[in-house]
Amino acid sequence: MPGFFDPRTPLLPKPHRRGLQLAVAAQVAFLLLVAVAGYAVGHFGRTIALRTMPVDPRDLLYGDYVVLNFTISQLDVKQWRGAQPPRVHQPVYVELRPTPDGSYAAVAIYPENPPHIPASHAVLRGWVQSNWRTALRIRYGLERYYVPEGTGARLERRTGSRPLLVRVNIAPWGQSRITEVAER
């Protein structure tokens, strides 16, 4: 009977099946690469501590999170080391040095990954969020930290005006992730 489904006929002709298999394999490989990259940051990365002040919003889909306002998020434009003025959305590399209290502070902002920095320093990749005459606002992708349900407001109340100490792993290739948020 014409137009009737015959289970013996393949849904895709043979040449198209190979393409579908390759597309599925590429998607699986991409997902595995994303997962491995996250673990690689922890394995190969260097841990630094940053000072921050929390703000406690809530996301209906994802739950409680703390917005972290890092001290290295707003930097003096005099720290810029590029030949051209920085542009909004431009990737930048912030050189950080250790301070006596154990956290890291910004030393310089580069348009490209600096090739030579002291061994005790670290480089954190970010993006120019806004550019004023005297200051640059840098976004690092670490500003939102999800916490267990009901703990975001408590964390914000407990800290009050005291800063938090955030431990961040930075991989040699520039990827970073938060490993711990604690009171100072």
pTM above 0.75, yes or no: no
Average pLDDT rounded to a whole number, residues 77-82: 94
Amino acid symbol at 94:
V
Angle (CA) 113-117-123 rounded to 5° is: 50
Task: With H, G, I as helix, E, B as strand and everything else as coil, classify residue 169.
Answer: strand
Q: What is the pLDDT of residues 106-137, one digit of tens each?
A: 999 999 999 899 999 999 999 999 988 899 99
Q: pLDDT band for 17, please (50, 70, 90 cuts).
A: confident
